[in-house]
Amino acid sequence: MVITGAGESLTGNSVNYDRFQELKAFDDSKAGVKGLVDASIAKLPRIFVRPPEEVLAGDPIPSKNIQFTIPVIDLSTRRSDVVAGVRCAAEAVGFFQVVNHGIGERVLEEMLEAARGFHELPREVKAEYYSREPMRKVKFGSNFDLYKSSFANWRDTLFCVMGPHPHPLQPQELPPLCRDITIEYSKQVYKLGVTLFGLLSEALGLKPDHLKGLECVKEHALLSHYYPACPEPELTMGASKHSDPDFLTILLQDHLGGLQILHQDQWIDVPPLPGALLMSNDRFKSVEHRVLASHVGPRVSVACFFTHYFYPSTMINGPLEELLSEEFPPVYKETSVQDFIAYYYEKGLDGNSALTHFKLQRENFCAALSASKSYGAESICCMLFHLYPSTMSYGPIKELLSEDDPPVSVYKETSVRDFIAYCVEKGIDGNSALTHFKLQR
């Protein structure tokens, strides 16, 4: 594989740099980032270098300027206290750690060790699982959005859809090295997920089984991430800023750290807490997070995603009706999980939340108030315009006009379309478009 160093200047042969060919060479090697480390590279390949404009535009203020502690929820305490803690953490941060969760320390340690062991297998063994096939249930790879992102992340992943779904994962489909512990951890983390969905339901003021009834636990996947030591970590990322495309994420991380969450426009380090599991789940936030590359490594983590990859759900997901009101209207439009995930993978990790694509375009209002003295009384005329393509005509609001005296209308009635058409025709000339619709007194 041809390696193009990050330190090269754009002169000589470098002017003919072909990014696609370098991406393809990396992909065809089926060795992932670990293969580059095994090749003892001293310079970061250019496909991994973060563009300067992204560094300048995308990084909030460093986390050292804020005092903040990641919420820790003890699941062994009184349930009402646990529910209150979950509600507070989910609303304020969208991220919390849980302890006394019922998964034994042995299982956690063996899961991390098995994940590390797989990624450190010989290249030819891992290559058997290397794939970019969307429908494959067990696959190894690096950067699902390799050909779409502006730079590649310094990370390899073993992806396993555990089910249940119409065609349950067979044990022999898992790599032998991590087969038994993956199955055991999967069963236990699934039980924890069911518990957490119950707590989240109660935190929302719903019945404990509400979210479970919405098929949130029908399928889950385990993603074992491997972040090797990086020769130039300041130039790249372990994982770009993103929010997860699922109902709930449960993350097991080793002792090295590197995970950060975005809170109040600042990056907050998430220090590893032995035996703790991390949860990430506008009322309950979908927290944006990232992983820093480091000279120290490898860092290993195992993420459990509760979502639908293959489960043929016909359910349309959207804001919970029980939580909506005139005061709290829906923020996101309804969509299926399959459509959401398809968009997420098409978009890639570009630093923007996939949720933005599904946000409802709220009506944008502009109002003009005018007052005039008439018959010794003050009449107020108000005209509202919004950008929704309505056929309704708008004019002075009758309830704001005097019933005792003849109303003095300042503006004539018009439709939104006519108003917008005039605005476009007029252009930005320094004059208000409302003047055009004033009645000639």
Q: Are 289 and 259 in contact (CB under 8 A)?
A: yes
Cα–Cα dist 87/64, whole Å: 26
pLDDT digits (tens, 9 = 90+) for 322-351: 555 566 565 655 665 556 556 655 655 555
**Three-state secondary-structure class, residue 275:** coil
In angstroms, the CA 87 to CA 294 distance is 34
pLDDT, tens only, 229-271: 999 999 999 999 988 777 889 999 999 989 999 888 889 899 8
| Pair 155, 146: CB distance under 8 Å | no
Q: What pLDDT does residue 4 have?
A: 57
How far, in Å, CA of 142 to CA of 163, rounded? 22
With vertex at residue 175, the alpha carbon angle to CA 170 and CA 181, rounded to the nearest 5 degrees, is: 80
Q: Is 353 or 279 the better-scoring residue by pLDDT?
A: 279
User: What's the distance, CA 39 to chain centroid?
Assistant: 33
Instruction: Identify the structural domains of the chain with CATH numbers, from first to last.
Output: 50-358 (2.60.120.330), 366-437 (no CATH)
Q: How many helices (H) and strands (E) does the chain have?
A: 10, 16
Is the separation of the CB atoms in 409 and 355 below 8 Å? Answer: no
3-state secondary structure string across 11-25: CHHHHHCCHHHHHHH
pLDDT in tens, 191-225: 999 999 999 999 988 899 988 887 788 889 999 99
What φ, ψ does residue 202 adopt, rounded to 5°? -65, -35
pTM above 0.75, yes or no: no
Q: Are 251 and 273 in contact (CB under 8 A)?
A: no
Residue 256 in 3-state DSSP? coil
pLDDT digits (tens, 9 = 90+) for 165-199: 667 789 999 999 999 999 999 999 999 999 999 99
Crossing angle of helices 179-203/79-92, nearest 10°?
Answer: 90
* Phi and psi angles of residue 162, each rounded to the nearest 5 degrees, phi first: -90, -15
Give yes or no for a contact between 63 and 266, defined as CB atoms under 8 angstroms apart.
Answer: yes
The alpha-carbon radius of gyration of the chain (Å, integer) is 27
Mean pLDDT of the chain: 78
> What mean pLDDT do residues 366-373 have?
32
Residue 221: strand pairing partners: 161, 305
